[in-house]
Structure 1
Amino acid sequence: MSFHNLQLIDPLLKALSNEGYTTPTPVQEKSIPVVLQKRDLLACAQTGTGKTASFALPLLQLLYSQKQPPSRQPKVLVLVPTRELALQVSESFAAYGKYLPLKQVVIFGGVSQHNQVRALQQPVDVLIATPGRLLDLISQGYPLVKEIQYLVLDEADRMLDMGFIHDVKKILSRLPLQRQTIFFSATMPPEVQKLSDSLLKQPVKIEITPPATTVDKIQQSIYHTDKPSKPALLLHVLKDFASTSTLVFARTKYGADKIAKSLNKSGINAAAIHGNKSQNARQTALGNFKTGKINVLVATDIAARGIDIDGMGCVINYELPNIPETYVHRIGRTGRAGASGIAISFCDAEEQPYLKDIQKLINKTIPVVRDHPFEAAPGQPVAAPSIPSVPAQKQQHNRKQWKGHSFHSRHKKSGHKNTAL
């Protein structure tokens, strides 16, 4: 299967060729024909499977086929939970629509609205927005959604997790009833299912992998330790990833700053990214991470949405999340589009219930690394007897083996480049 088999027009195929993409991922292969048929779509697919191209490519084609004169009213609305994801989706639309006379604008909070409003005063076909900023502009009298023909809710589960549900419902109440709706979510909890039922009309349902499962090629492991030992354990683990892009998850903004500061004091180039950082600071940190100026990015869950780095080698859960679905989202930052990856989690005594919930959700036990210098002291819970044990030496061997095969070399062998778009 190639993109040529999906009935895409030549300008899109030319843009895909420029980007180096030839083979669609499973979610792209199943979704693109459905969207081109103007059917509502409900897709449950893991993060990193190429969801953006699944809706961006066919929507660009549908817009182009209408051959309507330029309008200041967008026809496509893409709602996303974070500004990082908004920028990522915007970049994808720009890349795929390079050879089409279509315009797209991205709007999000945390920055002045001045430049965004100026951009909206020009003809626009595609509007990519976070719910808060869009609702704010609508309340100011900007008529941004009156002519929407195509609606995309991307990462709907995260929008609900972040408390956007009320803003989303207010926006939906202002949209035309006659429209095509595309609904993407990595997990499908009851609240998301209920929202999709209210929005979609006889949708085609696509489930690439069962909800809340993890990519098989991600090598997962658990380090049991106590809370005070986590900073030293992080330095110990990072020794094996000196030249690897590593994303470290912290539970709080303060914690992310503290971890990044500690790493820099220890000679490891790191930066923190979270909601209290300015937009410029966040983009600078992301840019430095993508170009390799820093190898470690410390992020909170909300800030990490939209981080899509080719060849992300390792994800480290410095603290386990108390919501098990969040674990799936976190480790999905690595092992994208068929690549291998490593996900390491630290677990102290207080986090044992979180680990239990995570393993129940993903329906597998996560191997435990034993005999490391910072293993939990006697008397603390270490692991359930059923959890397999992996010697630390074997873990290090596996990492070195993984590092010996570059991201791009793996994809050359498989016949296609990363399509986690």
Structure 2
Amino acid sequence: MTRMSLASAIRLTPWRFLLSRWPYSAALYVGVCILLAPISVAAVSTVFLIPLWGAVLAHIDRRTVTLLGRERIQEARVRAPFERFGDRVRAQLAEPITWRESGYELIHLVIAIAAFGLLSLAWTFFATGGLVPVILFVNAVNDAPSPLGEVTSGSLVWAIPLALLSLLLVLYATSGIALGLSSIAAKMLSPRPEALQRQVAQLARSNALIQDEFDTRLRDLERQIHDGAQIRLSTAALHLGLLEHRLQSARGTQDDADECLAILETVRSENEMSMDALRDSMKSLRPRTLQESGLVSAIREVSRTLPMSIRVEGAEGLRLPVGAEYSLLQIAKEALNNIAKHANASEVDIEFSVTASQSELVISDNGKGGANPFVGTGIIGMQERAQLLDGSFSLSSPPGGPTRLTVRVPSSAANDSKGP
């Protein structure tokens, strides 16, 4: 069954169109457009408010098009993970969608003014052509004086059809304006193919990073099993073969018995070492320090390899589930690597805290600032890791510094997380 909308309803017969909800939904849509016009005039007159009001207006119109039976327009703006308002504004001004929204704001204003003038004229025609004769006739029935002279019942013969024709004209004009404006909104406010391609490329990069990390850990695990457990088990098998040979050739002497016992002891020892090697291999899937001492100790271990003064604060005994600790450690590693490469910082402060409702990791440095999440994949990757835990990621990095990165993970999300 085809979904009904204003675009399909306008093709109905005039009578069916008038009895449907669509012309009145269109009137509401255009009415909202006209009501928002004064704000657009104020924004345009100040110039610097054009992008800000353009974003708000676009946010509204992406939703109001549903009044006309259209699908809600998908959001095309990428949310910048900045805490400071100025940083967010600078990041958004670099986005092409900001200027498309500003252009739409100007078009919206022109259409609103034109619609107001056209509909005012149409309603005036409707009132003078249809309602005035009716009012005059009512006044005549009540013996009220008429400024336009004598009015008879014959006036209604042409007044009523003219009123209906005027109303039909107003509703069709309103519907046409609504269709035109909503089409422009869909064209200008929808995500561009290149934006979708960037999102696909970003997902591909994220998947590639995850795959690289998985491959690296798989190779490490393979090497540890080969160099540890496999060699131990091979040695144990060799000694078992030797024991079998001795038992087959044994003649019951004490020396043979002692030698067999020694071989059995060697096999037992090799088996124990094989089990230890397998346990170590399994632990290697998660960093040993993280496994044994927790996130704070693991971050301290990472910080010792970097040429900066790094202060790590947080209770050693605070522990999270495997997935949350591992993800926060990877975020801390990425942040520290970015600081070492790009920030020119000499001091870094890392604070980790856990409450009943959330865990918070804060990393700040005294570097040059100006971090841009839309350049490279590091910041976006950290944001995605936080989002996988149903957490939040925010960044404050004004030019000149300091830079402050905050990751918050809700306790419920952390408890449900799974390890790498």
Which of the five TM-score ranges fits, normalised by the shorter chain? under 0.3
Q: TM-score, normalised by structure 2?
A: 0.22
Q: TM-score, normalised by structure 1?
A: 0.22
Give the helix-richer structure, 1 or 2. 2
